[in-house]
């Protein structure tokens, strides 16, 4: 994880993704509430500015540990998003022994060199996980080589579609319990380049008919997915 998600990565990212936090928390909360979860503890990996960790902890009254590999980012989080419920830490929870009710990682998998090994470690520290995954692999991106811009500008080294992300989670041993596609093209409009603005109208029209098809053809959506660690007991249930 360190090679692609450390101090050097954050130097490329203005605002440590703080402006995206409300958007991501909105859809993560949708899945939590829809599945009637009531967590007492959270863990976040790749917390960035820490705003999402603060919002999630305060919304659900849960204790939270939020991790990032970059010391400068954790210092920023402690200054700007401190909460008595949140402990910001430099490092990774996968090297410790502590466990949590729910874990989440927003826009992390695409940066991690060994993302399969990373997911395996996640299973050890929480039974329920929420992942937010950009869907860089779509028809428009392949035709225009848009995924290479994601690699250059924000260090995406893996590219997912909705189906490939879900199948990856299943292969690792998660059971996908709920999901939604998050329309970054619409809710983060101020940060879209001109070519993204041009695609807004066809995305809106096709999205009304079939969001998954729109995401697969035109891009602009990410996947927010809630999954549970697969166990023999869950199979029997």
| Least trusted range by pLDDT, from 8-12, 23-27, 44-48 | 8-12
- Span 94-101, average pLDDT: 85
Chain mean pLDDT for the chain: 87
| Least trusted range by pLDDT, from 11-15, 30-34, 146-150, 208-212 | 11-15
Report the b/e string of 157-191 with b at 16+ CB within 10 A: ebbbbbeebbebbeebebebeebbbbbbbeeeeee
> What is the pLDDT, as a whole number, of residue 2?
47
> What is the pLDDT, as a whole number, of residue 3?
45
- Span 134-147, average pLDDT: 85
Cα 152 to Cα 233: distance, rounded to the nearest angstrom:
44
| 187-195 contacts at long range (C-beta below 8 A, 24 or more positions apart) | 187/23, 188/19, 188/20, 188/23, 191/19
**Is 235 a residue whose pLDDT tops 80?**
no
Bridge partners of residue 223, in order along the sequence = 133, 181
Count of the separate structural domains present in the chain:
1
Rounded (to 5) percent helix, strand, coil in the chain: 55, 20, 30
Q: Look at residue 60 and tell me if it is in a domain.
A: yes
Q: Look at residue 159 and tell me if it is in a domain.
A: yes
77: domain range?
2-230
Cα 219 to Cα 145: distance, rounded to the nearest angstrom:
12
Q: pLDDT higher for 196 or 228?
A: 228
Range with top average pLDDT, 20-24, 53-57, 144-148: 53-57
Which CATH number characterizes residue 89's domain?
Answer: 3.40.50.150
Q: Look at residue 161 and tell me if it is in a domain.
A: yes
Q: Look at residue 79 and tell me if it is in a domain.
A: yes
- Span 158-167, average pLDDT: 95
Q: Look at residue 24 and tell me if it is in a domain.
A: yes
What is the token pair recorded at 16?
């440590």
Share of residues in the chain with pLDDT > 70 (%): 84
Length of the chain: 237
pTM tops 0.75, yes or no? yes
3-state secondary structure of 229: strand
3-state secondary structure of 156: coil
Q: Look at residue 237 and tell me if it is in a domain.
A: no
- In what side-by-side order are the strands of the sheet with 128-134? 86-90, 63-68, 41-45, 102-106, 128-134, 222-229, 174-182
Q: Look at residue 236 and tell me if it is in a domain.
A: no
**Is 228 a residue whose pLDDT tops 80?**
yes
Task: Find the helix packing angle between 115-125 and 162-172, rounded to 10°.
Answer: 60
**Is 9 a residue whose pLDDT tops 60?**
no
- Span 74-90, average pLDDT: 95
114-135 per-position pLDDT tens digit: 999 999 999 999 999 999 999 9
Cα 139 to Cα 143: distance, rounded to the nearest angstrom:
6
């Amino acid at each position: 994880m360190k090679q692609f998600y450390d101090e050097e990565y954050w130097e490329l990212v203005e605002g440590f993704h703080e402006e995206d936090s409300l958007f991501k928390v909105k859809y993560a909360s949708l899945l939590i509430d829809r599945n009637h979860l009531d967590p007492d503890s959270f863990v976040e990996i790749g917390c960035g500015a820490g705003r999402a960790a603060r919002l999630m902890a305060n919304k659900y009254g849960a204790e939270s540990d939020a991790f990032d590999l970059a010391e400068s980012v954790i210092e920023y989080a402690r200054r700007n998003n401190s909460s008595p419920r949140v402990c910001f830490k430099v490092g990774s929870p996968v090297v410790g022994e502590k466990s949590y009710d729910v874990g989440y990682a927003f826009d992390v998998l695409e940066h991690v060199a060994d993302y399969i090994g990373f997911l395996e470690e996640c299973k050890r520290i929480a039974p329920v996980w929420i992942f937010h995954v950009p869907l860089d692999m779509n028809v428009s991106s392949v035709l225009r080589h848009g995924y290479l811009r994601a690699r250059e500008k924000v260090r995406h080294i893996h590219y997912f579609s909705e189906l490939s992300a879900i199948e990856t989670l299943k292969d690792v041993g998660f059971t996908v319990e709920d999901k939604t596609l998050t329309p970054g093209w619409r809710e983060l409009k101020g940060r879209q380049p001109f070519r993204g603005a041009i695609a807004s109208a066809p995305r809106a029209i096709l999205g009304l008919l079939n969001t998954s098809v729109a995401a697969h053809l035109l891009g602009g959506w990410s996947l927010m997915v809630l999954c549970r660690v697969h166990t023999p007991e869950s199979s029997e249930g």
